[in-house]
Structure 1
Amino acid sequence: MKRPNKTACTLAVAAALANLATYAQEPDKVAKGLERIEVTARKTVESLQEVPVAVTSIGATELAEKGISVLTEVQQFSPNTTLQTSRGTNSTLTAFIRGVGQQDPLWGYEPGVGIYVDDVYMARPQGAVLDLLDVQRIEVLRGPQGTLYGKNTVGGAVKYVTKEMSGGAEFNAQATLGSYSQRDIKLTGQIPLVEDKLFLGFGYGNLNRDGYGNFLVAPNGQDQENYNKDIKAARLTLEFHPADNWFMRLNWDKTTDDSNAKGGYRLVPSLLTDAPIPDSKYDSYTSLPTWNKVELEGLSLTVNWDVSDALSVKYIGASRKSDSPTNIDFDNTGINLFDVPAVYDDENTSHELQANYQGESFTLVSGLYAYDSESCGLFDAILGGLGVTLETSGCNNSEAYAAYVQSSIDMTDKLSLTLGARYTREEKQATVFYGFLPGAAYPYSGWVDGYTRADGTGVPMSLGVDTDGDGVLDAPKKASWNRFTPRVGLEYQLDRDTMFYASYAQGFKSGTFNPRASTNERAADPEIADSIELGMKKDWNQQWRTNITLFWLDHKDRQYIVVEADPNDPTILGQNLGNAAKSKVQGLEAEVTYVATDNLTFDLALGYLDADLEQDESIGTPLVGLSNTPDYTLALSAKYVMDTDFGPVMFNGGYYYRDEYILFEDNAILKQDGYGMVNLSVSWESLEGNWYAGLHAKNLTDEEYMVGGYSFVGGINPDGGYLPGFGGDTTLAAYYGDPRTVSLTVGYRF
């Protein structure tokens, strides 16, 4: 099929936006003003323009009008932000903000960007690509958030806020049909059980789509769709208002992703098979079963007591678990050269007690936090060409306790001072079992206790403690860390519509053990990020909003992992985990809104960063740059509302650009060139507000862009070809973002 002319499509959108801009200058079209946007970036409700933090907030109305249905699409509206679906599954998240994140989803590795659902921490990247169900808004907080949000927010935090109940009976049914046989159903609503006191809310989503491509070779009897979607999500919420100053919410949610495991696109031919490179970036080959599963379930309780007009106390408790058996074919061929079936199993509980005080000249946010997690897994690297399986398994468990306080103090009528601090103590214990088994071994057939199979075989413990002195490791290895993370800021309110701020903040990413450890190595220390921000938030004549941030980020003790074959013995997979690098990043973020008329609005989000990466010379593989971090991101969008006799019609058009970026810090073999995407939406709502519909076209120019991959090559020949690497083949594969899609959504609510 002939691909569309991308330049022509882009110019057409630009022309449409220009026409809207011309219309905006008509003198009889005067704008009423900018919208007030509320956020909870500082764990209390504030106006976006009053918060001295670089934060993007996208509300439910905007999400619906633009057809944003999954968390990863939010990256298009937040500068210097990467939220992309990782390799292997449809539900695993790769998140980077300002060059800080974590792209390896193995158990034990900690993320650099915190994901929160109603202030409950999502500890693992598996299942973090959330489909948006009953959402009120999404907030993206850029920069270290170590004082209020704690560990693993060195890059920033993403907050998913669900809707509170209104009190009456409500029901919303929504259906979507689209490209690749997309078939989505979402049902949400609420029922008052006791008038003005007790309410039951519910949400259910059944999301299905055929694959963007196929497995051209797959085991007999296996589903050959690649990049398909089969997700079921459900929520139940019980809200209780025993008095005007009490609020209680009990929430249960469960998500099951039965989509096939994703196959990568081979960028170079295999040396050991005669299969050609596929024609489509979404086609692949595999010798593994194509089934995959990501199952998450959580229970949370929120209790808020307004003790007085000035003081409120809040408790948030949660328990979450996930189970992820998966099949990842690294070599992406029809034979088992380098197949990696795996099982991940995670459980965590958290408790947070907050006390917020609003005084005449100061505010105070304080709290105590406790977190306990158990993260385990097993994967089998089946090396069919060598006739062996390299098996790795173990657990990396954590207990963390923290106390925090942050206060904003009015020094004068215009000048205020922010002081914050958090103290965290964390202890981790880990075991790793590592070794070779003969033939092909699979983790979901005979796994008894994490390292021993039903037939009695197993691999030795490689990381642990020898408790009885017999030379055999038999107990978990432990390490602990303490960390004090401060925040200091000055805010100057020049006038009602203008605020300048300067801040220093620190964040840290937890220390960890290497879950692939082949030797009894020590744990890596925490990563530390120190950040300075200068910002201005200003509304001009109720038509222009300009939020500008300059930042300098010093990221020390970066945990760096090299996974590569021993050049002298390709059957040995070398490991390296340590605090082997640091980076300095400086940049600019600009978010601009122009309300041209009551009906026409323009938005611009621009991100720029300049990074300098330095490495410890003890690491043999040279680092080449920050992964998943383009120098520039740009989003330009326009919204026009046309009033009609049958209800308002909203037109949304947008262009999103990402500059070039590499997928791995230690090589530029997998490098994505800069690309731009065009999105268009038309939505409608009836005058009564009960019927609504939306037509959404995304990635109109059908851009092909990498979001993940694997690089296991042994070097480059003098003629430019690749030498075989681990597994005996030239394994170089990439995973791609969504192609062009069109969908129609129709809904009814009462």
Structure 2
Amino acid sequence: PVLDDVFDTRGALNDPIQEIEAYGLSMNITANLTDTLTLKSISAWRKDDTTTPIDFDALPAVDLDVPGIYRNKQISQEFQLQYDGGPLNALLGFYYLDASADTLFDVRIFTTFAGLTAFTQADVDTETYAIFADLTYDFTDQLSLSLGGRYTWDERSASILRQNFLGGGSPTFGGAGIPFGGPSTDFQGSAKFKKFTPRASLSYKPTPDHNIYASFSQGFKGGGFDPRGVGVNAPTANASGIPSDAEVASFLSFRPEKVDSYEVGYKGSLMDGALNVALAAFYTDYTDVQIPGSVACTVAGLPSFCGVINNAGKATLKGVELEAFARLGEDLAASGDQLTLSGALGYIDAQYDQYITNIGGVPTDVAQFRQVQNTPEWTASGTFAYSTPIGGGDLYFGTTLSYRSKVNQFEIANPFIDQKGFALWDANLVYTAPDDRWSIGLHGKNLTNKRYKTSGYTFVAADPTTGVIIPGANGLPVGTLGPEGTLTAFYGNPRQVFISAGVKF
């Protein structure tokens, strides 16, 4: 049933309780070796542990309940050698990252088959090295050229175990279930990736207040292994029908994502500094786009949940962005008052040029039926702000109106969870005491109490090519997981009005 309140839930999964603990340390050391040479060391360590109850069906019944545990830790070290010698500025660096991500979760579908649980334990480790260099040379006071490059080595190692249980949840989450059959995934593997990515930028300043530039850069995102994948679902070419280790590795892995990015722009200060403008046009060409997803599947004849990460093929994103900041009311400056108006406008045309998916065992390009997720065509915002000195301190008032056009939550359009264009209105009133000793503020967010969707889950039947949702006899979508399927939308915060206070000592 549809909930009476979009901010409510009838979900009953509360074990484990939602809890997140995160820790971090960082250290930044700078040594001035000479007047022109500087050495920097940047060290960091982070660790977080999360327990979470994900009640997909949002109902008391155990129709699709997923208790989960996520454990992450990483350590990184970076060295930078910087040179500043007049017309030449250069940087040489080294970066290292060692990270581990452990994922544990149950998928409990008790309403489909009494006590049916699919347990997953997946450990994915990452080790990354990179060397990089960047230099800028000023030919004149007006013309500058920047060149840079980065060579990256990535290694991913994965250990993925997936086991069905009957009679309740897995023992990891305090359940009484017992193993049913052999593991549907028992995978150990690793993969290495490397890539050189260059950058170049040309800048021309006709005057010190104006800058015109053009740039090109390449990006690289390493491949890996889907910790939620199910190995027995891997396509097989051998006579036994049982996927080989190589076929399982190929099915669970995904390739690196690559991007070529081009940009031209202008940044300038006009009207004696009263108006600052930044205008940019960009074109981005993606290859092997990594697309994560979740689907209903069958494991050993039993319904289950499977993670899927595909390399969609090719995508292009192109658009224009404008930012501006203006100081208004010059006659106010003498009294210390300040009136400002700032805004931003963005347009982006994002589309898949190639999106290969397997339909009936045949690779099929469905690009014309897929959308780039979470990418609104238009975005805009404007902020009007006024500040004035009071009692030796400063009183600030600002109000912001922001807009986003229609957003698709996933690559396949879904009228139930996709969000149409909407606007949000915020406002802030803050008094800051002399010397910033203390401050107090009154804040309002989403003052019009707009209802807008931010994300969702969907396990309903759709045409594999077009993605059109298949309706049942009652006009509602046909479920693919659980007796009725699951389709849930999550909403952004409603109207919020609150007070903040701060003190510095």
Instruction: State the TM-score, normalizing by the size of structure 2.
Output: 0.86
Aligned to 2:14: 289
Q: Are the counterparts in 2 of residues 570 and 728 from structure 1 also a CA contact under 8 Å?
A: no
Corresponding position: 1:462 with 2:191: no
After superposition, the C-alpha distances for 1:73-106 in whole angstroms (9 at most, x for unaligned) are xxxxxxxxxxxxxxxxxxxxxxxxxxxxxxxxxx
The answer on whether the counterparts of 1:629 and 1:662 sit within 8 Å (CA) in structure 2 is yes
What is the distance in 2 between the residues matched to 1:417 and 1:648?
43
Matches within 5 A, 1:545-584: 545-566=276-297, 571-573=303-305, 576-584=308-316
> 2:353 corresponds to which residue?
614
Give the CA deviation at 1:647: 3.1
Q: How many Å apart are 1:648 and its aligned residue?
A: 2.3
Residue 224 of structure 2 is aligned to residue 502 of structure 1: no
User: Aligned residue for 1:513?
Assistant: 225
Q: Once the two structures are superposed, what CA deviation does each residue of 1:488-545 show, in whole Å capped at 9, x if it has no partner?
A: 1101111110001100011111201111221213221110011000011100021000
Question: Within the alignment, does 1:634 sit opposite 2:380 as a pair?
Answer: yes
Shift of 1:442: 4.5
Residues 443 and 714 (structure 1), Cα distance of their counterparts in 2 relative to 1, 3 Å cut: farther
Q: 1:747 to 1:617 in 2, by over 3 A?
A: closer
Deviations 1:337-387 (A, max 9, x none): 000001111111111111111111111122111111111111110001112
Instruction: Please tell me the residue identity of whatever aligns with 2:454.
Output: V
Amino acid at match of 1:635: S
Aligned positions of 1:418-429 closer than 5 A = 418-429=146-157
Check the 8 A contact 1:603/1:637 in 2, yes or no: yes
Q: CA deviation at 1:646?
A: 5.5
Equivalent residue number for residue 47 of structure 2: 321
Is residue 585 from structure 1 mapped to residue 317 from structure 2 by the alignment?
yes
Tell whether 2:371 aligns with 1:625. yes
Aligned to 1:643: 389
Which of the residues 116, 123, 138 maps onto 1:395?
123
Is the CA contact 2:67–2:173 (under 8 Å) kept in the aligned structure 1? no
Matches of 1:407 and 1:384, distance apart in 2: 61
SS of equivalent to 2:146 = strand
Q: Are residue 345 (structure 1) and residue 71 (structure 2) matched?
A: yes
Deviation for aligned residue 1:676: 0.5
Mapped partners of 2:27, 2:490: distance in 1: 38
**Are 1:682 and 2:429 matched, yes or no?**
yes
Deviation per residue, 1:609-633 (Å, 9 max, x gap): 0112134333449552111111111
- Greater shift, 685-694 or 524-533, is seen at 685-694
Matches of 1:666 and 1:547, distance apart in 2: 34
* SS of residue paired to 1:521: helix
Residue identity in the other structure for 1:403: I
Match of 2:467 in 1: none
Q: Deviations over 1:257-309 (max 9, x none)?
A: xxxxxxxxxxxx2xxxxxxx322211001121162111111222221101122
Equivalent position SS for 1:278: coil
Q: Greater strand percent: which structure? A: 2
**Residue matched to 2:265:** 535
Opposite residue 264 of structure 2, the aligned amino acid is L
Corresponding residue SS for 2:414: strand
Q: Classify 1:515/1:495 alpha carbon distance in 2 versus 1 (closer, same or farther; 3 Å).
A: same
**Counterpart residue number, 1:738:** 493
Q: Does 1:417 align with 2:145?
A: yes
1:667 to 394, 413, 419: 413
Q: Match for 1:406 among 134, 157, 171?
A: 134
Residue by residue over 1:454-510, the C-alpha shift from the partner in whole angstroms, topping out at 9 and shown as x without a partner, is: 98889626253xxxxxxxxxxx20110111010011011111100011000111112
What residue in structure 2 maps to residue 243 of structure 1?
none
| Structure-2 separation of matches of 1:463 and 1:735 | 34
- Answer whether contact 1:684 1:693 (CA < 8 A) is retained: yes
Alignment CA distance shift 1:570-1:608 (3 Å): farther
- Does the 8 Å CA contact 2:288/2:311 hold for their aligned counterparts? yes
Secondary structure at 2:223's aligned position in 1?
coil
Amino acid at match of 1:354: Q
1:421 and 1:278 map into 2 onto residues whose CA distance is 53
Once residues 193 and 133 of structure 2 are traced to their aligned partners in structure 1, the CA distance between those partners, rounded to angstroms, is 20
Cα distance change, pair 412–747 in 1 and its aligned pair in 2 (3 A): closer
Secondary structure of 2:418's match?
strand
* Mapped partners of 1:744, 1:566: distance in 2: 48
* Aligned counterpart for 1:381 among listed residues 95, 107, 111: 107
Q: How far is the alpha carbon of 1:574 from its aligned partner?
A: 5.2
Aligned mates of 2:13, 2:195 — CA distance in 1: 44
Letter of the 2:57 counterpart: D
The answer on 1:712 being equivalent to 2:435 is: no
Distance 1:570 1:671 in 2: 30
Whether the aligned pair in 1 keeps the contact of 2:317 and 2:351 (CA below 8 Å) is yes
Corresponding position: 1:333 with 2:59: yes
Contact 2:218 2:259 in 1 (8 A): yes
| Structure 2 CA distance for partners of 1:642 and 1:458, relative to 1, 3 Å | farther
Contact 2:78 2:96 in 1 (8 A): yes
- Structure showing greater radius of gyration is 2
Q: State the SS of the aligned residue for 2:289.
A: strand
1:431 corresponding residue in structure 2 = 159
Structure 1 Cα separation of the partners of residues 404 and 3 of structure 2: 26
Q: Give how far 1:687 is off.
A: 3.7
SS at match of 1:320: strand
What SS is found at the alignment partner of 2:249?
Answer: coil
Q: Could you tell me how far 1:744 is from its partner in structure 2?
A: 1.4
Bigger drift between 710-719 and 656-665 goes to 710-719
Q: Which amino acid aligns with 1:648?
A: D
Q: Number of paired residues?
A: 459
User: Residue 722 of structure 1 aligns to a residue in which SS?
Assistant: coil
Verify the 8 A CA contact 1:378 1:393 in the aligned structure 2: yes
Secondary structure of 1:603 counterpart: strand
Q: Which residue of 1 aligns with 2:243?
A: none
Contact 2:313 2:356 in 1 (8 A): no
Write the deviation string for residues 438-465 of structure 1: whole angstroms up to 9, x where unpaired: 0321464369xxxxx998889626253x
The structure-2 alpha-carbon separation of the partners of 1:617 and 1:525, relative to structure 1 and needing over 3 Å to count, comes to: closer
Matches within 5 A, 1:244-255: none
Conservation of the 8 A alpha-carbon contact between 1:380 and 1:443: no
Three-state SS of the structure 2 residue aligned to 1:723 is: coil
In 1, Cα distance between equivalents of 2:89 and 2:184: 52
In structure 2, C-alpha distance between the alignment counterparts of 1:637 and 1:707, rounded to whole Å: 23
Alignment-derived partner of residue 481 in structure 1: 193
Q: Deviations over 1:675-717 (max 9, x none)?
A: 1011111111234542321111111001111111100112422
Does structure 2 retain, via aligned residues, the 8 Å contact 1:696–1:742? yes
Letter in 2 for 1:548: L
2:372 is paired with a residue of what secondary structure?
coil
State whether residues 378 and 443 of structure 1, in contact with CA within 8 Å, keep that contact through their aligned partners in structure 2.
Answer: no
Greater relative CO (CA pairs within 8 A, separation 6+): 1
Mean CA deviation greater in 590-599 or 571-580: 571-580
Q: Aligned equivalents of 2:136 and 2:278: distance in 1?
A: 20
Deviation readout 1:146-186 (Å, 9 max, x if unpaired): xxxxxxxxxxxxxxxxxxxxxxxxxxxxxxxxxxxxxxxxx
* Contact 2:453–2:491 under 8 Å retained in 1: yes
Tell me, in whole angstroms, the C-alpha distance in 1 between the residues paired with 2:443 and 2:5: 24
- The amino acid of 2:280's aligned partner reads T
User: Structure 1 residues 567, 666: CA separation in 2 closer, same or farther (over 3 Å shift)?
Assistant: farther
* Unaligned segments of structure 2, at least 5 residues: 232-247, 463-469
Does the Cα contact within 8 Å between 1:463 and 1:521 map onto a contact in 2? no
| Percent of matched pairs sharing the same residue | 32
CA deviation map 1:195-217 (0-9, x unaligned): xxxxxxxxxxxxxxxxxxxxxxx
2:152 touches 2:195 (CA, 8 Å); kept in 1? yes
Say which SS state the counterpart of residue 626 (structure 1) adopts.
Answer: coil
The structural deviation recorded for 1:567 is: 8.4
